[in-house]
Structure 1
Amino acid sequence: MFRDAPVSVMADHPVRLSDLCFWFEGAARMTPSTNNGFESLNGRIKQQYTMRNKLPLGVLMSTAERMLRDWSISVLEHPFQTHITLDDKIDSKAYEWLQKVDKSQILQLNAFTFVVPSTNAKMNTNTWPFDIEACPSIIVDVTMNTSFNNELQQLQMELRAQNFDIIRFSTYRTACKLRFIQKKLNFHLLDLLNVIESLRECLTWPSSELSSNSLSPTNRRTPTPIQTSLLNNDQYLSINRLTTFLTSIYTNLNKRLPSSQQILHIDNCVHSAIAWFLYVYNNNNNNNELSNNNISIRFNSFRVVLVLLCTGKLVDKMRHLFTSYLSSSLNTLTYGQIDELLHEILALPYALQEISYSTYRSNNAQLIFSHLSTTLINLDDFLDTLIYNDTTPNCLQWLIIFHRLISVENVIHRVKCSACQRASFSGFRYKCQQCHDRTYQLCQDCFWRGRVSDQHLPTHEMKEYTFFTSPVKEFRQSIR
């Protein structure tokens, strides 16, 4: 995927990797060559960009964009090396080295390509080909094959422009991204009660409006969900019905909002929402000739994302999602049903590239509820484990942070940030527990991005505050 990418994106005559002999600078066909230039570049990346840290995929992409821009500017002064110059001195050194190397460890790939291991090789000629073949193929789905490509690309471009990827903590990074998408799609204007009522009306549609699981496409971007016996979870919404449903929701929303807050372009908002749904829960066939009538989304997937992104308390949302999975005769859920619900929830951070595929697909229910003596989980145990107690699993921490982030957006802290020197700020407030007199405080932007000043270190323990009480009020309360 990188061979046709221009090395220089700002030069008048960009150099493409496909124009080079090999994919790294310094290689030369049919002549002795090394990857020393490539290793030098690797060291430069570690020292100047990644700081020798493992980066999340979202941060990696933004860092790669910055590297390409820097290199594109510098290539005007130092052009990319496209060939190697040989002289008698280099030939003599190469011959001397060839007399000393262990020729039994040289692997010949073709008539002119040989692989020579280093002095302390971790692989030999026997294991090297097998290790290379064992490397997993990376397939990146960059198109949706639908008429919603433009809306999705616009949404992703605006999300990338917010620069959330520089936030150090994955849970807060995921929460900020979801909050942006929630506002962009105007889901923050939808209240939970109206959403639940609309979903109930959707279930009353004739069966012809909802396609069954057996008639839905089978080629998915996301893995096949765990099968369930519930009828509602096996139903699919066509794009036409999804468009009608969302249009009805936004139209009714405008009737309740004042004229200054009403959505002006409902059609654009509906298309952007559908594009996001299809990206998160894509059930498409990889066929460019598919029409909108052949695209569908699971009703239960649609319900989960709409409930989680509307306005309401997290406990009420999780209570509704739990009861939506109940059968008519039981008030408990099995591990399999909870795994399916978690699968639908974790599709959100997975689409944002904030959790791994193994976390997304793993069956977490048995591990999460292992402290219970039963395999049938009731509502109280479900809410206590995931929300009320301090036992929220790591894979769902972002969901807690997402709702806390919403609750503190309008909280004003009338103190100065010790890093950016802002006189007051909103959101979370962080106070150092180790600096002198505990007067070192940071706004959320500085803390999330690792900005520090004075003698404060990023390794210091910090306490998070979601409220602010003025010193005057504290003094009045103390003398009562």
Structure 2
Amino acid sequence: MTQLFQSMADLSHVRFSAYRTAMKSRRLQKALCLDLLELSIAQSVFDQHKLTHNGQLLEIPSIINCLCTIYHELQQVHPDLVNVPLCVDLCLNWLLKVYDSDRSGKVQVLSMKIGLFSLSKGPLKDKYKYLFAEVAGAAGVCNQRQLALLLHNSIQIPHQLGEAAAFGGSNMEPSVRSCFQNVGRNDVIELQQFVDWMHLEPQSMVWLPVLHRVVAAETAKHQAKCNICKECPMVGFRYRSLKHFNYNVCQMCFFSGRISKDHHLSYPMVEYCTPTTSGEDVRDFTKVLKNKFRSKKYFTKHPRLVMVSFPLQSSILYFIYFILFYYFAQITTIPIVMVSFPAQSIFFIYLIVFSTNNNYPSVMVSFALQIHFILFMFFTQIAYPLVMVSFSPTIFV
């Protein structure tokens, strides 16, 4: 365990605490083989050992029995990856380091569940549901004290990694107040309200969704070249400038703060943890056009932010856009090349097909160009960003 934490020293170059904590947590997760543990399996093992009273204190033999059951389950599925004695020893030591600061040899059931659920394998939304269920009352709602208990146990993970200060320290009151103010009530919150708040990535819990993006980016390969170190293709996160055309930065250069002479740290970037879609390419192109008219002074006055992109949502929104485009244009076919060409070329290509198919005079084509340009600007600059705000959280760095 000591060697594991010493090996995390090479992550000190990561400037942003949320990503640094997430990468440390990922390394810990893989060392403990918890990246193989399904949420449902963990829950069934807890039920099997009758660990239903979250206030109960577990002594070391009870913890070992529970961990042995978990890792024997994993060994049956992954015999080449799971060494039961080693994993049990590592996980036991980790739980004691995180949740037994007094060296009493005991860990609370709730703490053990939150620790294992947080590093288990599963969709982020399901993880939020499991965590909420552990502190919610019989009515399925959670009061301020219960939420504070959940956040306190969760933040012990980055605290043990030496990163707690960046997430609010041990004071959970601001996060609890933020959650209840967000839902507009002071007594209790329901599951969906908690999930919606977590999707905003509050400061005390931002490391958890970032961990999931780190996992998603591990195998992502982007067919683009880093403008700083010239790596091509880029593996991991890809950061695209929203100030310069076709300017990309790999995760190593971005996290270490390396820049080139024509790009500044104050310029906005968009983050991709999966390969980009054609819709996202068009969206970023329009944003670069807009930022071209903004001065360097503008970006220094405004906090730099990284937009987190979700390919599925952007693809759906652009699909809706093209359907509406088709409706307004009333043509029989839409050229497939429209979705892959830059925005400035799309409408010229489209208008050629439009005028050819319908034999409209040049005046009508000119009028159509104005209408289509207005529609394009509406969907890409007004409607699309407004919808994306509710889906894509921003990380201020």
1:453 and 2:264 matched: no
Residue aligning to 1:245: 66
- How far apart, in 1, do the equivalents of 2:86 and 2:22 lie? 24
Residue aligning to 1:301: 111
The alignment partner of 1:416 has SS state of coil
Residue aligning to 1:405: 214
Q: CA deviation at 1:477?
A: 4.2
Point out 4+ residue stretches in structure 1 off by more than 4 angstroms: 473-477
- How far apart, in 2, do the equivalents of 1:185 and 1:195 lie? 14
The alignment partner of 1:168 has SS state of coil
- How far apart, in 2, do the equivalents of 1:168 and 1:262 lie? 32
Is the Cα–Cα contact under 8 Å of residues 168 and 203 in structure 2 kept in the other structure?
no
Residue aligning to 1:478: 337
- How far apart, in 2, do the equivalents of 1:234 and 1:469 lie? 46
Residue aligning to 2:95: 277
TM-score scaled by structure 1? 0.56
Give ranges in structure 1 of 5+ residues lacking alignment. 1-151, 205-230, 286-293
Residue aligning to 1:386: 198
C-alpha distance after superposition, 1:421-474 (max 9, x if no partner): 111122211011223xx2110111110111122422222211112232477x98
1:262 and 2:81 matched: yes
Q: CA deviation at 1:176?
A: 0.5
Q: Which amino acid aligns with 1:238?
A: E
The alignment partner of 1:203 has SS state of coil
Q: CA deviation at 1:374?
A: 3.9
Residue aligning to 1:158: 7
- How far apart, in 2, do the equivalents of 1:410 and 1:394 lie? 27
Residue aligning to 2:130: 320
- How far apart, in 1, do the equivalents of 2:115 and 2:159 lie? 13
**Within 5 Å, which residues of 2 pair with 1:81-96?**
none
Residue aligning to 2:178: 367
TM-score scaled by structure 2? 0.67
Alignment root-mean-square deviation, CA: 2.4
Q: How many residues align?
A: 284
Q: Which has the larger radius of gyration?
A: 1
The alignment partner of 2:181 has SS state of coil
Residue aligning to 2:34: 187
The alignment partner of 1:421 has SS state of coil
Q: Which amino acid aligns with 1:340?
A: L
The alignment partner of 1:353 has SS state of coil
Distance 1:358 1:451, change over 3 A: closer
The alignment partner of 2:54 has SS state of helix
Is the Cα–Cα contact under 8 Å of residues 283 and 297 in structure 1 kept in the other structure?
no
Q: Which amino acid aligns with 1:455?
A: D
- How far apart, in 2, do the equivalents of 1:241 and 1:172 lie? 34
Q: CA deviation at 1:179?
A: 0.5
Counting aligned pairs with the same residue, the percent is: 28
Residue aligning to 1:211: none
C-alpha distance after superposition, 1:349-394 (max 9, x if no partner): 111121229632332312322131341111111111112xxx3322
The alignment partner of 1:369 has SS state of helix
- How far apart, in 2, do the equivalents of 1:474 and 1:341 lie? 39
The structure richer in helix per residue is 2
Distance 1:335 1:469, change over 3 A: closer
- How far apart, in 2, do the equivalents of 1:251 and 1:467 lie? 33
Q: CA deviation at 1:479?
A: 4.0
The alignment partner of 2:107 has SS state of strand
C-alpha distance after superposition, 1:154-209 (max 9, x if no partner): 2212222xx111111111111111001001111101111111111211226xxxxx
Q: CA deviation at 1:478?
A: 3.1
C-alpha distance after superposition, 1:224-279 (max 9, x if no partner): xxxxxxx722101111121122122111211112x5x332x321221111111111
Match of 2:55 among 222, 226, 234: 234
1:343 and 2:164 matched: no
Q: Which amino acid aligns with 2:28?
A: I
- How far apart, in 2, do the equivalents of 1:358 and 1:460 lie? 27
- How far apart, in 2, do the equivalents of 1:477 and 1:170 lie? 43
Is the Cα–Cα contact under 8 Å of residues 283 and 296 in structure 1 kept in the other structure?
no
Q: CA deviation at 1:304?
A: 0.3
Residue aligning to 1:142: none
